[in-house]
Amino acid sequence: MNIVTMRDVEKSYGTRVLFTGVNVSITSDSRLGLIGVNGTGKSTFLRLLAGQDIPDKGIIERNGKASVYYMSQQPFIEADATLLENILLGEHPLLKLVRSFEAEGRRDTTSDRYMNLLNRMDTEGGWQVEQEAKIILDELGFQNVNQLAGQLSGGQKRRIALGQALLYPCDLLLLDEPTNHLDESGIAWLESYLQNRKGGLLVSTHDRYFLNAVCNGILELDRKHFYTYSGTYEDFLSLKADREERQASMEEKRRQFLKRELVWVRRGAQARSTKQKARLQRFEALQKQEKLAKVNTLDPIALKSRLGKMIFDIEDLSFAYDKEKPIISHFTYHVCRHDRIGIVGPNGIGKSTFLKLLDGKLSPTGGSVGCGETVKIAHFTQEVPSVDPSMRVLDYIKEDHPYLPLGDGTTASAGQMLERFLFPRERQGVLLSKLSGGERRRLYLLRLLMGAPNVLLLDEPTNDLDIPTLEVLEDFLDSFGGVVITVCHDRYFLDRVVDKLFVFEGQGQVKIVHGAYSEYKETLDGPSLEKTKSKERSAKDTSQQEERRSLDKGKEKKTLTLAEEEEYKNLEEKISELESLMKAYDAMLNQVAADYSQMEETIKDRTKTADELDRAMERWMELAERKE
């Protein structure tokens, strides 16, 4: 089914043309990855598809019977609502029903409105939606679904917004950087979920392994034009290389033609004759064509800063905010020159805290962190420091360090480094307030590098950075002569940059692993980086509704002991929970029908739950008979 078609679409931001001549069709079978430099119009393109913006030129045709959902990078969260209520935000009738039921349940479970909603939950399939919402929240790292959303961090809000998008029934799902703020297990789960999801998908992401696993085509925005490629991200790389080779050949032919025509134009009088006007117009047209320039390459840079023998001497290091929950316990390591270390583990386990200990922003609660005298640290944090929005790009970079000293005795100017980091000369005079979030992070990174550090502490450097920028950063790190220690969930970046891992396993334990991240994953005997989850999902709210329903029938004569009465009550809750879980497994079986291994695992879990449900029902019936 065709969902959206663009014909000769053009869009500008002020006087700057973002893209032009766009001809794209997206169907229910499309699973496209959207890539391009940040600030060139990817988010604007998604808003056009979602109908939240209109083109300056061209036509956008939509299938009136198809629905589109767009997850932006600026999530809308209701602070005074629970996480469960927030994930149910949306105009779909079934989501509105479940959300109203949850909200009314928090206010008054004896009202007529609540009873009406309770009946509708039974008849309209609301329980299955509620259970799926809880499963999604759990997989995204939220165990307490009744927590109010007001205290969530920015990253947590982005994860709630992702949950909203995944739960919403639609024919085309548009996701803007969905892997940001997910840990390794979260990204792996999202891959599996989207692989089994029905309907069209367009995802803008920097995670190249994710693109390779999820997409069957790539849509690239490059110098105001869109290019479509069939196949995985790996196929895209090959096809793009062929395209650029053809373009380079055409550019060389164009250059040679201009060189010949320039001689002719300079003849003067003959060029101005009426007979030769067509030839002159052709020359002028070719001269005005955009010159092909490959901007995402970086020459090797040898930095001048010297690094001594001692860098970080970590001796018996321990740290904890809460004594009951240690972050690091008795960890020892001596950082060497040229160390490339990746720090991995679930969200909230203490990886960013470890970088702050190295940087001296936090003091150990046990042991020590020694730092060498020649160490010059650049700490790239997840939060971009506030800036003067009226400042211009070039002035921001030049403010502290107008030149970058290089190892060969020469220097690179701020303007030259900006060009290498994908800020061409025409963008260097732009106000900081006009930059996208990804462009600001790229600029912040370059500002740190201009200080010629010899130790880089990078905290989630891939968040909100586009693939061309990541390629530039990876090339820079290849030529960087110092130490790199990075917290990162981007598996491709880790494989490309690091050769050693610090694996945070919880309870203060940190394991040192030599080799690339993919090699480590292949040798895992068990899911040490995955969330240790119980197969039984929390469905306490549902069971409470069942309990209230039983109480509405009135109190009956009790012939059980106090202990058996408590057991009877708990069994009612457990049965309700297990029944909800069975429905969830049935829904999951429909989704994973194409994945044999996942289907087999789900069937095993369902069988185990069914046996447990049978035992609980038998015991409940036995107690129920005695109550009567």
Please give the share of the chain, as a percent, with pLDDT higher than 70: 83
Q: Is the pLDDT of residue 105 over 50?
A: yes
pLDDT at residue 337, as a whole number? 83
Residue with the larger pLDDT of the pair 284 and 65: 65
Reference 348, options 190, 540, 501, 140; nearest CA is 140
Residue with the larger pLDDT of the pair 401 and 564: 401
Q: Is the pLDDT of residue 68 over 90?
A: yes
pLDDT at residue 184, as a whole number? 87
Phi, psi of 28 (to 5 degrees): -70, -15
For residues 251 and 42, what is the distance between their CA atoms, to the nearest angstrom?
Answer: 26
For residues 247 and 189, what is the distance between their CA atoms, to the nearest angstrom?
Answer: 39
Going from the C-alpha of 197 to that of each of 66, 185, 588, the distances in angstroms are 16, 18, 11
pLDDT digits (tens, 9 = 90+) for 480-497: 888 999 999 999 999 999
- Look up tokens 């307490």; give the residue: 144
User: Is this prediction's pTM over 0.85?
Assistant: no
Residue with the larger pLDDT of the pair 541 and 561: 561
Phi, psi of 337 (to 5 degrees): -60, 140
Q: Which pLDDT band holds residue 548 (cuts at 50, 70, 90)? A: very low
Q: Which pLDDT band holds residue 362 (cuts at 50, 70, 90)? A: very high
Going by DSSP bridges, is the β-strand pair 411-413/403-405 parallel, antiparallel, or unpaired? Answer: antiparallel
For residues 11 and 435, what is the distance between their CA atoms, to the nearest angstrom?
Answer: 17
Please say whether the beta carbons of 55 and 32 come within 8 A.
no
pLDDT digits (tens, 9 = 90+) for 204-228: 999 999 999 999 999 999 889 999 9
**Could you count the other beta carbons within 10 Å of the beta carbon of residue 57?**
12
Q: Which pLDDT band holds residue 533 (cuts at 50, 70, 90)? A: very low
Please say whether the beta carbons of 43 and 99 come within 8 A.
no
pLDDT digits (tens, 9 = 90+) for 114-166: 999 999 999 998 999 999 999 999 999 898 999 999 888 888 999 999 999 99
Please say whether the beta carbons of 535 and 608 come within 8 A.
yes
Residue 268 CB burial class (10 angstroms; 0-12, 13-18, ≥19): exposed
Reference 207, options 30, 19, 486, 460; nearest CA is 460
For residues 560 and 119, what is the distance between their CA atoms, to the nearest angstrom?
Answer: 31
Show the DSSP H helices in 435-561 as ranges: 437-449, 467-479, 491-497, 517-523, 540-552
Average confidence (pLDDT) over 392-401: 92
- Look up tokens 């185990």; give the residue: 608
Going by DSSP bridges, is the β-strand pair 340-344/411-413 parallel, antiparallel, or unpaired? Answer: unpaired
Q: Is the pLDDT of residue 475 over 70?
A: yes
- Look up tokens 């979602």; give the residue: 50
Please say whether the beta carbons of 302 and 408 come within 8 A.
yes
Phi, psi of 380 (to 5 degrees): -90, 110
Which of 36-40, 261-265, 377-381, 553-557 is most confident?
A: 377-381
Chain-wide mean pLDDT for the chain? Answer: 83
pLDDT at residue 283, as a whole number? 57
pLDDT at residue 428, as a whole number? 92
Please say whether the beta carbons of 111 and 61 come within 8 A.
no
> What is the three-class DSSP state of 378?
strand
For residues 188 and 211, what is the distance between their CA atoms, to the nearest angstrom?
Answer: 12
Average confidence (pLDDT) over 392-411: 85
As a 3-state breakdown, the chain gives helix, strand, coil percent values, each rounded to 5, of: 45, 20, 35
pLDDT digits (tens, 9 = 90+) for 285-296: 655 555 544 444
Q: Is the pLDDT of residue 504 over 70?
A: yes
Contacts of 510 (CB under 8 A, 6+ apart): 328, 331, 502, 503, 504
Sheet holding 483-487, edge to edge: 377-380, 455-459, 483-487, 340-344, 500-506, 509-514
Strands (E), 133-224: 172-176, 200-204, 217-222
Reference 445, options 494, 408, 411, 484; nearest CA is 484
For residues 156 and 142, what is the distance between their CA atoms, to the nearest angstrom?
Answer: 9
Average confidence (pLDDT) over 348-361: 93
Contacts of 241 (CB under 8 A, 6+ apart): none
Please give the share of the chain, as a percent, with pLDDT higher than 90: 47
